[in-house]
Protein backbone atom coordinates (compact mmCIF):
# COMPACT_ATOMS: atom_id res chain seq x y z
CA UNK A 1 0.00 0.00 0.00
CA UNK A 2 1.24 3.48 -0.88
CA UNK A 3 2.11 5.47 2.26
CA UNK A 4 -0.14 8.31 1.00
CA UNK A 5 -3.12 5.94 0.95
CA UNK A 6 -2.28 4.29 4.26
CA UNK A 7 -3.29 7.34 6.29
CA UNK A 8 -6.82 7.67 4.88
CA UNK A 9 -8.59 5.68 7.65
CA UNK A 10 -7.40 8.17 10.29
CA UNK A 11 -9.47 10.97 8.80
CA UNK A 12 -12.83 11.75 10.43
CA UNK A 13 -13.84 15.18 9.15
CA UNK A 14 -16.54 15.43 6.50
CA UNK A 15 -15.71 18.91 5.21
CA UNK A 16 -12.82 21.42 5.16
CA UNK A 17 -12.73 25.15 4.65
CA UNK A 18 -10.31 26.20 1.91
CA UNK A 19 -10.16 29.98 1.81
CA UNK A 20 -13.81 31.03 1.71
CA UNK A 21 -14.97 27.74 0.27
CA UNK A 22 -16.15 24.56 2.00
CA UNK A 23 -15.12 21.35 0.29
CA UNK A 24 -16.52 17.91 0.91
CA UNK A 25 -14.70 14.77 1.94
CA UNK A 26 -13.47 12.96 -1.13
CA UNK A 27 -13.30 16.00 -3.44
CA UNK A 28 -10.18 15.61 -5.62
CA UNK A 29 -9.13 12.77 -3.31
CA UNK A 30 -7.89 15.06 -0.54
CA UNK A 31 -9.09 12.59 2.10
CA UNK A 32 -6.09 10.41 1.18
CA UNK A 33 -3.77 13.13 2.53
CA UNK A 34 -5.02 12.98 6.13
CA UNK A 35 -2.12 12.04 8.42
CA UNK A 36 0.45 12.36 5.66
CA UNK A 37 3.91 13.62 6.59
CA UNK A 38 4.76 16.56 4.30
CA UNK A 39 8.05 18.37 3.67
CA UNK A 40 7.44 21.87 2.30
CA UNK A 41 9.98 24.32 0.89
CA UNK A 42 9.00 27.90 0.19
CA UNK A 43 6.35 27.99 2.92
CA UNK A 44 6.90 31.72 3.44
CA UNK A 45 6.38 32.52 -0.24
CA UNK A 46 3.23 33.58 -2.06
CA UNK A 47 1.88 30.12 -2.90
CA UNK A 48 3.39 28.52 0.21
CA UNK A 49 1.42 30.81 2.52
CA UNK A 50 -1.78 29.68 0.82
CA UNK A 51 -0.85 25.99 0.75
CA UNK A 52 0.38 25.55 4.33
CA UNK A 53 -2.95 26.13 6.14
CA UNK A 54 -4.68 23.80 3.68
CA UNK A 55 -2.22 21.01 4.42
CA UNK A 56 -2.79 21.44 8.14
CA UNK A 57 -6.56 21.66 7.73
CA UNK A 58 -6.77 18.32 5.91
CA UNK A 59 -4.71 16.65 8.63
CA UNK A 60 -1.12 16.65 7.33
CA UNK A 61 1.93 16.85 9.58
CA UNK A 62 4.16 19.47 7.97
CA UNK A 63 7.86 20.21 8.15
CA UNK A 64 8.66 23.61 6.63
CA UNK A 65 12.23 23.87 5.39
CA UNK A 66 13.92 27.22 4.85
CA UNK A 67 16.17 29.87 6.28
CA UNK A 68 13.33 31.40 8.32
CA UNK A 69 10.21 29.88 9.82
CA UNK A 70 6.85 30.77 8.25
CA UNK A 71 4.65 33.07 10.30
CA UNK A 72 1.98 30.72 11.64
CA UNK A 73 -0.04 30.02 14.76
CA UNK A 74 -0.89 26.49 13.73
CA UNK A 75 1.06 24.80 16.50
CA UNK A 76 1.90 21.12 16.74
CA UNK A 77 1.22 19.90 13.16
CA UNK A 78 3.86 22.32 11.80
CA UNK A 79 7.57 22.30 12.56
CA UNK A 80 10.47 24.26 11.06
CA UNK A 81 13.77 22.82 9.84
CA UNK A 82 16.30 25.58 9.26
CA UNK A 83 18.49 25.46 6.18
CA UNK A 84 19.25 26.67 2.68
CA UNK A 85 17.88 24.68 -0.28
CA UNK A 86 21.25 25.11 -1.98
CA UNK A 87 23.01 23.15 0.80
CA UNK A 88 22.84 19.46 -0.17
CA UNK A 89 24.13 18.17 3.19
CA UNK A 90 21.59 20.14 5.18
CA UNK A 91 18.78 19.06 2.85
CA UNK A 92 19.80 15.42 3.23
CA UNK A 93 19.81 15.69 7.01
CA UNK A 94 16.48 17.52 7.17
CA UNK A 95 14.69 15.04 4.92
CA UNK A 96 16.22 12.07 6.72
CA UNK A 97 14.96 13.48 10.03
CA UNK A 98 11.48 14.33 8.74
CA UNK A 99 10.97 11.08 6.80
CA UNK A 100 8.13 12.60 4.77
CA UNK A 101 5.73 10.75 2.52
CA UNK A 102 5.30 13.76 0.25
CA UNK A 103 7.43 16.78 -0.72
CA UNK A 104 6.21 20.10 -2.11
CA UNK A 105 9.08 22.12 -3.59
CA UNK A 106 8.02 25.76 -3.88
CA UNK A 107 11.25 27.54 -2.97
CA UNK A 108 12.79 29.81 -5.59
CA UNK A 109 13.13 33.40 -6.72
CA UNK A 110 11.01 35.30 -9.26
CA UNK A 111 12.06 38.94 -8.94
CA UNK A 112 13.91 40.13 -12.07
CA UNK A 113 17.69 39.99 -11.45
CA UNK A 114 19.39 43.38 -11.58
CA UNK A 115 23.03 42.33 -11.68
CA UNK A 116 25.32 39.35 -12.25
CA UNK A 117 25.20 38.04 -8.64
CA UNK A 118 21.40 38.15 -8.75
CA UNK A 119 21.40 36.24 -12.05
CA UNK A 120 23.66 33.58 -10.56
CA UNK A 121 21.48 33.34 -7.43
CA UNK A 122 18.37 32.84 -9.59
CA UNK A 123 19.99 29.92 -11.43
CA UNK A 124 21.24 28.39 -8.19
CA UNK A 125 17.89 28.69 -6.39
CA UNK A 126 15.61 27.76 -9.25
CA UNK A 127 17.65 25.07 -11.03
CA UNK A 128 20.49 23.63 -8.94
CA UNK A 129 18.44 23.58 -5.74
CA UNK A 130 15.73 21.59 -7.53
CA UNK A 131 18.23 18.88 -8.44
CA UNK A 132 19.57 18.83 -4.87
CA UNK A 133 16.07 18.59 -3.39
CA UNK A 134 15.14 15.68 -5.67
CA UNK A 135 18.32 13.78 -4.81
CA UNK A 136 17.75 14.32 -1.09
CA UNK A 137 14.13 13.16 -1.45
CA UNK A 138 15.27 10.02 -3.25
CA UNK A 139 17.86 9.34 -0.53
CA UNK A 140 15.17 9.70 2.15
CA UNK A 141 12.78 7.26 0.50
CA UNK A 142 10.14 9.87 -0.36
CA UNK A 143 7.37 8.44 -2.50
CA UNK A 144 6.20 11.57 -4.30
CA UNK A 145 7.54 15.07 -5.04
CA UNK A 146 5.61 18.03 -6.43
CA UNK A 147 7.82 20.68 -8.04
CA UNK A 148 6.14 24.01 -8.77
CA UNK A 149 7.18 25.60 -12.04
CA UNK A 150 5.83 28.65 -13.86
CA UNK A 151 4.05 29.40 -17.12
CA UNK A 152 7.02 31.66 -17.87
CA UNK A 153 8.86 28.48 -18.85
CA UNK A 154 6.74 28.08 -21.99
CA UNK A 155 7.40 31.38 -23.72
CA UNK A 156 5.03 32.43 -26.56
CA UNK A 157 1.98 30.41 -27.60
CA UNK A 158 2.90 27.33 -29.60
CA UNK A 159 -0.17 27.73 -31.79
CA UNK A 160 -2.56 30.65 -32.19
CA UNK A 161 -6.09 29.79 -31.14
CA UNK A 162 -5.37 27.34 -28.33
CA UNK A 163 -3.82 27.44 -24.90
CA UNK A 164 -0.37 26.11 -24.09
CA UNK A 165 -0.26 22.39 -23.36
CA UNK A 166 2.12 20.46 -21.18
CA UNK A 167 3.81 18.83 -24.17
CA UNK A 168 4.41 22.09 -26.04
CA UNK A 169 8.09 22.97 -26.52
CA UNK A 170 9.44 25.55 -24.07
CA UNK A 171 10.78 28.72 -25.70
CA UNK A 172 11.21 31.03 -22.70
CA UNK A 173 12.33 34.63 -22.80
CA UNK A 174 14.12 36.23 -19.86
CA UNK A 175 16.24 34.51 -17.24
CA UNK A 176 13.34 33.67 -14.94
CA UNK A 177 11.52 31.75 -17.67
CA UNK A 178 14.77 30.10 -18.72
CA UNK A 179 15.50 29.02 -15.15
CA UNK A 180 11.98 27.60 -14.64
CA UNK A 181 12.15 25.73 -17.96
CA UNK A 182 15.48 24.25 -16.89
CA UNK A 183 14.16 23.33 -13.44
CA UNK A 184 11.10 21.63 -14.95
CA UNK A 185 13.26 19.67 -17.37
CA UNK A 186 15.60 18.65 -14.56
CA UNK A 187 12.65 17.45 -12.45
CA UNK A 188 11.07 15.35 -15.20
CA UNK A 189 14.45 13.96 -16.30
CA UNK A 190 15.25 13.02 -12.68
CA UNK A 191 11.98 11.11 -12.46
CA UNK A 192 12.73 9.19 -15.65
CA UNK A 193 16.29 8.41 -14.58
CA UNK A 194 15.55 7.29 -11.01
CA UNK A 195 11.92 6.17 -10.88
CA UNK A 196 11.02 8.80 -8.26
CA UNK A 197 7.41 9.94 -8.70
CA UNK A 198 7.63 13.61 -9.70
CA UNK A 199 4.79 15.93 -10.64
CA UNK A 200 5.57 19.30 -12.23
CA UNK A 201 2.83 21.83 -11.47
CA UNK A 202 2.82 24.81 -13.85
CA UNK A 203 0.69 27.72 -12.57
CA UNK A 204 -0.09 30.57 -14.94
CA UNK A 205 -0.52 34.20 -13.78
CA UNK A 206 -1.13 33.75 -10.07
CA UNK A 207 -2.93 36.58 -8.30
CA UNK A 208 -4.58 36.99 -4.91
CA UNK A 209 -3.76 38.17 -1.39
CA UNK A 210 -0.03 38.27 -0.69
CA UNK A 211 1.18 38.68 -4.29
CA UNK A 212 4.62 40.33 -4.65
CA UNK A 213 4.39 44.06 -5.34
CA UNK A 214 6.45 43.94 -8.55
CA UNK A 215 3.73 41.85 -10.22
CA UNK A 216 0.40 42.76 -11.80
CA UNK A 217 -2.05 43.58 -10.24
CA UNK A 218 -0.28 44.03 -6.86
CA UNK A 219 1.79 46.86 -8.34
CA UNK A 220 -1.44 48.69 -9.25
CA UNK A 221 -2.94 48.18 -5.80
CA UNK A 222 0.19 49.42 -4.05
CA UNK A 223 0.14 52.60 -6.14
CA UNK A 224 -3.53 53.22 -5.32
CA UNK A 225 -3.09 52.71 -1.58
CA UNK A 226 0.19 54.65 -1.37
CA UNK A 227 -1.20 57.81 -3.00
CA UNK A 228 -1.63 60.67 -0.53
CA UNK A 229 -5.03 62.11 0.29
CA UNK A 230 -8.38 60.55 -0.52
CA UNK A 231 -9.08 61.97 -3.97
CA UNK A 232 -8.71 60.35 -7.40
CA UNK A 233 -5.44 58.56 -8.16
CA UNK A 234 -3.52 58.15 -11.40
CA UNK A 235 -1.42 54.99 -11.58
CA UNK A 236 1.26 53.94 -14.04
CA UNK A 237 0.71 50.80 -16.08
CA UNK A 238 2.37 48.85 -18.88
CA UNK A 239 0.73 47.16 -21.87
CA UNK A 240 -2.97 46.98 -21.03
CA UNK A 241 -3.77 44.99 -24.19
CA UNK A 242 -1.66 42.03 -23.03
CA UNK A 243 -3.88 39.01 -22.29
CA UNK A 244 -3.08 36.65 -19.45
CA UNK A 245 -4.55 33.58 -17.73
CA UNK A 246 -5.23 34.89 -14.22
CA UNK A 247 -5.71 32.27 -11.48
CA UNK A 248 -6.18 32.91 -7.76
CA UNK A 249 -3.48 31.65 -5.38
CA UNK A 250 -6.12 29.87 -3.30
CA UNK A 251 -7.22 27.94 -6.39
CA UNK A 252 -3.56 27.12 -7.06
CA UNK A 253 -3.15 25.76 -3.52
CA UNK A 254 -6.25 23.61 -3.99
CA UNK A 255 -4.83 22.35 -7.30
CA UNK A 256 -1.61 21.30 -5.57
CA UNK A 257 -3.62 19.26 -3.06
CA UNK A 258 -5.50 17.64 -5.94
CA UNK A 259 -2.27 16.78 -7.74
CA UNK A 260 -0.74 15.37 -4.56
CA UNK A 261 -3.63 12.97 -4.16
CA UNK A 262 -4.66 12.19 -7.75
CA UNK A 263 -1.92 13.40 -10.08
CA UNK A 264 -0.32 10.72 -12.23
CA UNK A 265 3.11 12.32 -12.55
CA UNK A 266 4.56 14.51 -15.28
CA UNK A 267 3.54 18.09 -15.99
CA UNK A 268 0.18 19.71 -15.24
CA UNK A 269 -0.95 23.22 -16.11
CA UNK A 270 -2.79 25.12 -13.36
CA UNK A 271 -4.84 27.65 -15.27
CA UNK A 272 -8.35 28.71 -16.25
CA UNK A 273 -7.85 28.42 -20.00
CA UNK A 274 -9.47 31.86 -20.39
CA UNK A 275 -7.15 34.77 -21.30
CA UNK A 276 -8.23 38.24 -20.17
CA UNK A 277 -6.51 41.53 -21.02
CA UNK A 278 -4.91 43.76 -18.42
CA UNK A 279 -7.51 46.39 -19.35
CA UNK A 280 -10.28 44.06 -18.11
CA UNK A 281 -8.34 43.53 -14.89
CA UNK A 282 -8.08 47.30 -14.44
CA UNK A 283 -11.82 47.69 -14.91
CA UNK A 284 -12.47 44.99 -12.33
CA UNK A 285 -9.96 46.69 -10.06
CA UNK A 286 -11.93 49.92 -10.31
CA UNK A 287 -15.00 48.14 -8.99
CA UNK A 288 -13.05 46.71 -6.04
CA UNK A 289 -10.98 49.81 -5.23
CA UNK A 290 -11.83 52.05 -2.25
CA UNK A 291 -10.61 55.03 -4.33
CA UNK A 292 -11.35 56.13 -7.86
CA UNK A 293 -8.34 55.87 -10.11
CA UNK A 294 -7.27 56.34 -13.70
CA UNK A 295 -4.12 55.18 -15.42
CA UNK A 296 -1.41 56.27 -17.81
CA UNK A 297 0.89 54.02 -19.82
CA UNK A 298 4.48 54.25 -18.59
CA UNK A 299 6.96 53.48 -21.38
CA UNK A 300 9.39 52.09 -18.78
CA UNK A 301 6.86 49.38 -17.94
CA UNK A 302 6.54 48.11 -21.51
CA UNK A 303 8.48 44.90 -22.22
CA UNK A 304 9.11 43.95 -25.82
CA UNK A 305 10.08 40.38 -24.88
CA UNK A 306 6.64 39.55 -23.44
CA UNK A 307 3.98 37.80 -25.58
CA UNK A 308 0.77 39.73 -26.32
CA UNK A 309 -1.37 36.74 -25.34
CA UNK A 310 -0.45 33.90 -22.99
CA UNK A 311 -2.78 31.26 -21.58
CA UNK A 312 -2.89 27.58 -20.80
CA UNK A 313 -4.96 24.50 -21.48
CA UNK A 314 -6.24 22.95 -18.21
CA UNK A 315 -7.56 19.75 -19.84
CA UNK A 316 -5.06 17.36 -18.21
CA UNK A 317 -5.56 18.49 -14.61
CA UNK A 318 -9.32 18.55 -15.11
CA UNK A 319 -9.34 15.02 -16.52
CA UNK A 320 -7.06 13.49 -13.88
CA UNK A 321 -8.22 15.32 -10.73
CA UNK A 322 -11.46 17.16 -11.49
CA UNK A 323 -9.89 20.48 -10.48
CA UNK A 324 -10.94 23.75 -12.10
CA UNK A 325 -10.30 27.40 -11.26
CA UNK A 326 -13.26 28.79 -9.31
CA UNK A 327 -12.42 32.12 -7.66
CA UNK A 328 -13.66 34.99 -9.82
CA UNK A 329 -11.38 37.89 -10.74
CA UNK A 330 -13.40 40.50 -8.73
CA UNK A 331 -13.20 38.29 -5.63
CA UNK A 332 -9.42 37.93 -6.03
CA UNK A 333 -8.97 41.69 -6.34
CA UNK A 334 -11.22 42.45 -3.36
CA UNK A 335 -9.19 40.02 -1.24
CA UNK A 336 -5.98 41.67 -2.40
CA UNK A 337 -7.19 45.13 -1.32
CA UNK A 338 -8.18 43.77 2.08
CA UNK A 339 -4.86 41.96 2.57
CA UNK A 340 -2.92 45.08 1.53
CA UNK A 341 -4.64 47.12 4.22
CA UNK A 342 -7.15 48.93 2.02
CA UNK A 343 -10.88 48.42 2.48
CA UNK A 344 -12.29 47.27 -0.83
CA UNK A 345 -15.33 49.01 -2.27
CA UNK A 346 -18.85 47.77 -1.53
CA UNK A 347 -21.37 48.35 -4.29
CA UNK A 348 -25.13 47.99 -4.01
CA UNK A 349 -26.77 45.36 -6.22
Q: Is the pLDDT of residue 268 over 50?
A: yes
Angle, vertex CA 201, rays to CA 52 and CA 308, nearest 5? 115
Identify the band that residue 345 occupies on the pLDDT scale cut at 50, 70 and 90: low
Identify the band that residue 1 occupies on the pLDDT scale cut at 50, 70 and 90: very low
pLDDT tens digits for range 98-141: 999 999 999 999 998 999 999 999 999 999 999 999 999 999 99
pTM: 0.89
DSSP string, 167-201: TSPP---SHHHHHHHHHHHHHHHHHHHH--EEEEE
Residues in the chain: 349
Sheet with 309-310: strands ordered across: 276-277, 243-244, 309-310
**Would you state the pLDDT for residue 230?**
83
Domain residue extents for the chain? 3-211+246-273+312-327
Q: Is the pLDDT of residue 66 over 90?
A: yes
How far, in Å, CA of 262 to CA of 284, rounded?
Answer: 34
Radius of gyration, alpha carbons of the chain: 20
Assigned CATH topology for domain 3-211+246-273+312-327: Rossmann fold (3.40.50)
Q: Is the pLDDT of residue 144 over 60?
A: yes
Q: Are strands 276-277 and 243-244 parallel, antiparallel or unpaired?
A: antiparallel
**Would you state the pLDDT for residue 307?**
81
How far, in Å, CA of 102 to CA of 330, rounded?
Answer: 34
How far, in Å, CA of 54 to CA of 253, rounded?
Answer: 8
Q: Is the pLDDT of residue 155 over 60?
A: yes
Amino acid sequence: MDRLDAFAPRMRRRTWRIGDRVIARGEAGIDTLAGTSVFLTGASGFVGRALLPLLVDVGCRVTCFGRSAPVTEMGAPVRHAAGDVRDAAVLDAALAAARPDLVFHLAGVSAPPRDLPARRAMLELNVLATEMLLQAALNAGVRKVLVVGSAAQYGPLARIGRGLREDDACRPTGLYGISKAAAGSVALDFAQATGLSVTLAVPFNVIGPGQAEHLVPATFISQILAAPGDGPVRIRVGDITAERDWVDVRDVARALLSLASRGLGGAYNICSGRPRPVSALLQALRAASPRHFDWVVDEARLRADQPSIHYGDPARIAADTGWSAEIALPDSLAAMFTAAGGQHAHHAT
